[in-house]
Structure 1
Amino acid sequence: MSSRSHDAILQSAGRLFGERGYRAVTVRDIAGDAGVSAALVMKLFQSKEKLYAAVQPDDSLLAEPDVPTSELGRALVFRVLMRRERSMQEPWANIPLAVLNSPNPDAARADIHERYLDTITQLIGDATQDRRFASTVIALMTGFGEAIRTLGLFDSWDVDELVGHYGAIVQIQIDASKAATQTGAPSPD
């Protein structure tokens, strides 16, 4: 088995699950799209559910950028644009599909909710009880990922202009989190 076959299976599965959802895609669909046998898919991944789990957003999305907090909004937006430029999978865009198309949507929602919310909460220092700023950053980035990948809304924008524009929008929430932590109260923004 070559790593090329393994990668082709993952790429096909990610695309097909993203387009049609978990229930509408068969192992044979994935194998045919990847140019391999269904037996090889099962040998490598043991089940459709395990293959689905293998193509879900990974924690590399949540790796802490090596930038000051004052530049974090721009850094998060820049990462999305670089993944698009390199034709890489966009985890932010896949979050809604990972939940909705999961064999167990409630468990997927709880897992993704906690992983992402905990990480972003720590990253931006959100001390609010309801983690409102971290939640808003996640919503903004998920929407941005969808707008870039699914809708192509910003295709005509210059990268630097888009990083500055949308990064500033995300940064408002990051800065509000910092201000709320310093004052001990949520910002009215």
Structure 2
Amino acid sequence: MRVALSRRLTAFLIAGAAIGLLGVVLFGVVHALIIVPIWTRLFGGVPFALPAGLAMGWALYELQAASRLGEGAFSGLVFGFLVWLTLLPMTAFTVFVRAAGLHSREGYWESTVELLLASGTGALLGHLISRQWRPAIAMGIASLAVALAQAGPIPVINSSRTAWLFAALGLIYLACGFALGLLSSAILRRSKSQP
């Protein structure tokens, strides 16, 4: 059985791939300004950023399909903020673990909890917004994907620079969400004008 992607979903996925690449570039700029330039290592983030962008595109598509989020750049901006918001519990957990002296460089328990927090928060937020399972799953996957793309939580307790980096990531998610809303709308308009 073949399932064809709808034009609408395809538009969101194309826009998602584009914002994945945009996110890599913006992260490179922010990292260079706040921490240190990483231009030579930036390309290594593309394999993580593309799936994150695709997941964000799918999540916004599902939230709009559930009629809980409007169309266009403003809804994308709101969505970008929501994605960043889903990363706060993961970041707070990291702060708590480090402040309590429980941080370990060995073992996977911290990473497991952090990723469960990111995906669980995304799914919960998606469900609270839509009251439907598809947007909840899509939002959970998007939150997990962006957490992986940024290599887990930013250790904001380490220094003021890392705290600024975390704040700047919020701006990156806003910009990428805005671009996602704008691009997906533009692609949809263009596809409707073609036979």
TM-score higher than 0.5: no
Structure ID, larger Rg: 1
Specify which structure has the bigger relative contact order, considering alpha-carbon pairs within 8 angstroms and separated by 6 or more residues: 2
Q: Under a length normalisation based on structure 1, what TM-score does the superposition of the two structures give?
A: 0.30
Q: Which has the higher helix share?
A: 2
